[in-house]
């Protein structure tokens, strides 16, 4: 009995130490080191599987998506802009590339990124990478995403880039886009627009100041230096692109 009590005390002490540890270093570090300690101490007892023991697998997102993948050439398309004119991807033939972003008016995530999309355009248009924004949503499902509201929102936010409407919903499926916002960085290689990066703008939708990795900016920097973006594919939570059911 004594040994059992000693064992309990030992585990408690270990556990508590781990706990204190985690509380003080709680900010950015994952809790894996503490979990490991605890796991070890229970192993001789043939423990049942600890729920936290599965947290170590860290798969990098793989482009298992439909539609355009990294390296694919995007076929030209033409859609109506908020100013009433038609805009084609081919219109960007004199640019180094295009920051193509599926976005919309209604989605809170898209809204949180509006200022950052403006910043991207204001910084990179002069360097040969203008933003081209595409609204892929069906306004019958999401009325706030119709053309009048696109014009209104663009005016409110002072968009200086084309904001075009995929009203027939024929373009976004070619990309395999599923959510807003979703970025495709295109590199102009002698007129062929090649996908070099796809995914999120950065790694913190909520707060531009808390961003650790600026995926799109880093990708532009990489291609400008003649290297491949790393990562070239990321995932983020976003609003489903709205399509009529049935």
Partner 1 sequence: MIKALLSLLMLLLIGCSASTSATQESATMSKVQPETEATTESTEIQSYLKFDDFEHHLHQEDDKIYVINFWATWCKPCVKELPYFEQIQAQYKNKNVEVILVSLDDIKKLNNKVIPFVKEKNLQSTVILLDDADYNSWIDKVSPQWSGAIPVTLFYNKNKREFYEQEFDYQELEHIVKTFL
Q: Which residues bind partner 1 (CB under 8 A)?
A: 4, 7-8, 11-12, 15-16, 18-19, 22-23, 26-27, 30-32, 34-35, 38, 42, 45, 47-52, 54-55, 57-62, 64-65, 108, 142, 178-179, 182, 199-200, 203-207, 210, 212, 215, 231, 234-241
Closest CB 121 distance from partner 1, rounded Å: 23
Q: Considering the complex, state which of residue 21 and residue 91 has its C-beta at the smaller distance from partner 1.
A: 21
Relative to beta strand 179-180, strand 182-189 is unpaired
DSSP string, 29-41: S-SHHHHHHHHHH
Complex with partner 1: residue 60 or 84, whichever CB lies closer: 60
Nearer residue to partner 1 within complex by CB, 18 or 164: 18
Q: Which residues contact 165 (CB under 8 A, 6 or more apart)?
A: 79, 80, 81, 82, 134, 135, 147, 150
Select 34 or 166, whichever has its Cβ closest to partner 1: 34
**Looking at beta carbons only, is 59 or 148 nearer to partner 1?**
59
Instruction: Please choose, from the candidates 5, 222, 165, the residue with its C-alpha nearest in 3D space to the C-alpha of residue 213.
Output: 222
Residue closer to partner 1 by CB (options 54, 168) is 54
What are the DSSP calls for 65-100, one per residue?
-SS--TTPBPPP-EEEETTS-EEEGGGGTTSSEEEE
Helices 108-124, 215-224: inter-axial angle, 10-degree rounding: 30
CB of 224 to partner 1, least distance (A): 22
* Dist. CA 71–CA 88, nearest whole Å: 20
| Residue 19 C-beta: closest distance to partner 1, Å | 4
Cα 233 from Cα 184, distance rounded (Å): 9
Minimum distance of partner 1 from residue 81's CB (angstroms): 26
Closest distance of CB 17 from partner 1, Å: 10
CA distance 107 to 153: 12
Closest contact distance (angstroms) between CB of 128 and partner 1 is 26
């Amino acid at each position: 009995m004594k040994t059992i009590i000693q064992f309990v005390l030992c585990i408690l002490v270990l556990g508590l130490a781990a706990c204190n540890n985690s509380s003080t270093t709680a900010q950015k570090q994952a809790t894996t080191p503490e979990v490991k300690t605890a796991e070890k101490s229970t192993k001789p007892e043939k423990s049942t599987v600890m729920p936290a023991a599965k947290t170590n697998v860290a798969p990098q997102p793989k482009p298992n998506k439909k539609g355009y993948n990294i390296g694919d050439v995007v076929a030209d398309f033409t859609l109506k802009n908020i100013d009433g004119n038609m805009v084609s991807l081919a219109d960007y033939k004199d640019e180094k590339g295009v920051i193509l972003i599926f976005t919309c008016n209604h989605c809170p995530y898209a809204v949180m990124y509006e200022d950052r999309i403006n910043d991207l355009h204001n910084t990179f248009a002069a360097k040969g990478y203008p933003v081209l924004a595409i609204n892929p949503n069906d306004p019958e499902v999401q009325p706030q995403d119709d053309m009048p509201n696109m014009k209104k929102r663009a005016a409110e936010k002072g968009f200086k880039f084309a904001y075009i409407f995929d009203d027939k919903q024929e373009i976004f499926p070619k990309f395999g886009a599923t959510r807003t916002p979703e970025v495709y960085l295109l590199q102009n290689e002698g007129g062929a627009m090649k996908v070099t990066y796809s995914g999120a703008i950065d790694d913190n939708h909520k707060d531009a100041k808390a961003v650790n990795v600026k995926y799109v900016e880093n990708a532009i920097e990489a291609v400008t230096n003649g290297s491949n973006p790393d990562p070239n594919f990321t995932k983020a939570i976003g609003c489903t692109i709205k399509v009529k059911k049935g």
